[in-house]
């Protein structure tokens, strides 16, 4: 049961990152909180700045997609054969991705009028930590049998 919950937790984080990735990879304009941060609508932003913002969004989207797909692969592999090194890699990748996103979101929140979805990032960190703890419990149980 714990292993199923660990998989659900890590797959949930990976799915959230994948959804963000897809949005940032295909959206033709910036996000609503970007508009708030700049106090401008997309149509009011000059073309070169639009291109720069879209390029940065694509980089973020690509990074989230890479982390998401790698997390899915590693969690699936861990569920099959309980390799002890996998949980810490999933945790490390997830934390680097989410904490760097949180840092950027906090900068936007503190220094601009923008309101990025910071609470959701804390939820993802919590779920990721739970997935790690449950995976580690699965390793201990697997080693005892």
Residue 1: pLDDT band with limits 50, 70, 90: low
Work out the average pLDDT over 53-67.
98
What 8-state DSSP symbol labels residue 40?
Answer: S
Task: Report the pLDDT averaged over residues 94-119.
Answer: 98
pLDDT confidence of residue 141: 62
pLDDT at residue 138, rounded to an integer: 82
**3-class DSSP assignment, residue 41:** coil
Q: Give the contacts of 4 (CB within 8 A, at least 6 positions apart).
A: none
pLDDT tens across 32-56, in order? 999 999 999 999 999 999 999 999 9
Going from the C-alpha of 145 to that of each of 2, 19, 33, 56, 142, the distances in angstroms are: 15, 38, 51, 48, 5
In contact, 61 and 24? CB cutoff 8 Å: yes
Nearest-angstrom CA–CA distance, 3 and 137: 8
Asked which of 26-30, 79-83, 103-107, 138-142 is least confident by mean pLDDT, the reply is: 138-142
Categorize the per-residue pLDDT at 12 as very low, low, confident or very high, splitting at 50, 70 and 90. very high
pTM: 0.91
- Going from N- to C-terminal start, the domains of the chain cover 2-144
Give percent of the chain above pLDDT 90.
90
With the CA atoms of 5, 93, 112 and 120 taken in that order, what torsion angle do they form, in degrees rounded to the nearest 10? 0
Residue 9 has pLDDT above 90, yes or no: yes
């Amino acid at each position: 049961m714990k292993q199923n919950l660990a998989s659900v937790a890590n797959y949930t984080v990976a799915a959230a990152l994948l959804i963000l990735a897809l949005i940032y990879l295909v959206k033709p304009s910036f996000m609503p909180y970007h508009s708030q941060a700049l106090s401008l609508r997309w149509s009011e932003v000059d073309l070169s700045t639009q291109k720069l913002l879209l390029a940065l969004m694509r980089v973020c989207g690509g990074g989230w997609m890479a982390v998401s797909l790698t997390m899915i692969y590693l969690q699936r592999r861990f569920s099959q054969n309980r390799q002890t090194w996998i949980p810490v890699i999933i945790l490390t990748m997830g934390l680097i991705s989410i904490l760097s996103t949180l840092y950027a979101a906090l900068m936007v929140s503190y220094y601009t009028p923008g309101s990025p979805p910071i609470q959701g990032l804390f939820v993802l960190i919590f779920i990721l930590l739970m997935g790690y703890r449950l995976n580690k419990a699965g390793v201990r149980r697997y080693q005892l049998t």
